[in-house]
Amino acid sequence: MHLLVNSASTGFYEHNATAEFYENNATAEFYENNATAEFYENNATAEFYENNATAEFYENNATAEFYENNATAEFYENNATAEFYENNATAEFYENNATAEFYENNATAEFYENNATAEFYENNATAEFYENNATAEFYENNATAEF
């Protein structure tokens, strides 16, 4: 009977050992599954941050390109403005030259006009002088004839 009890005891312990073995396996599998899940979760997190970093990189590039394009546009705008003022200054220069030439031509015309007027009066004075001389000579001749 003692042997039978031992045998039953051995069976009990054997069953317990088997149960513990399966329990340990289940526990090991649980931790293994947890570790696998954590691995995939960490990978997903890493990929998330990597994608964010990539998105931020492209966003920063786009922003940099935006400011670069603005600077280029401003450069061409400033050049166009400078050219506009330069053209205005050139136009004003030619306009001032034309005005100066106009006044110079007017002064020249006035000079010749004044000369012509002076010559006219001079010629008149000369004509009057000769006329007076002729008149004086006429009276002188008359006086001589009368004498």
Q: Which two tokens stand for residue 88?
A: 């205005």
Whether 136 maps to a domain, the answer reads no
pTM of the model: 0.40
Q: Which two tokens stand for residue 5?
A: 């009890």
Whether 119 maps to a domain, the answer reads no
Q: Which two tokens stand for residue 146?
A: 């009368």
Domain ranges, residue 97: 1-103
Cα(133)–Cα(77) distance, rounded to whole angstroms?
A: 83
Whether 39 maps to a domain, the answer reads yes
**Which of the 8 DSSP states describes residue 147?**
-
Q: What is the pLDDT along the chain (147 residues), one digit of tens a residue?
A: 555 555 566 667 777 888 889 999 998 999 999 999 999 999 999 999 999 999 999 999 999 999 999 999 999 999 999 999 999 999 999 999 999 999 999 999 999 999 999 999 999 999 999 999 999 999 989 888 887
- H/E element holding 81? helix 2-146
Structural domains counted in the chain: 1
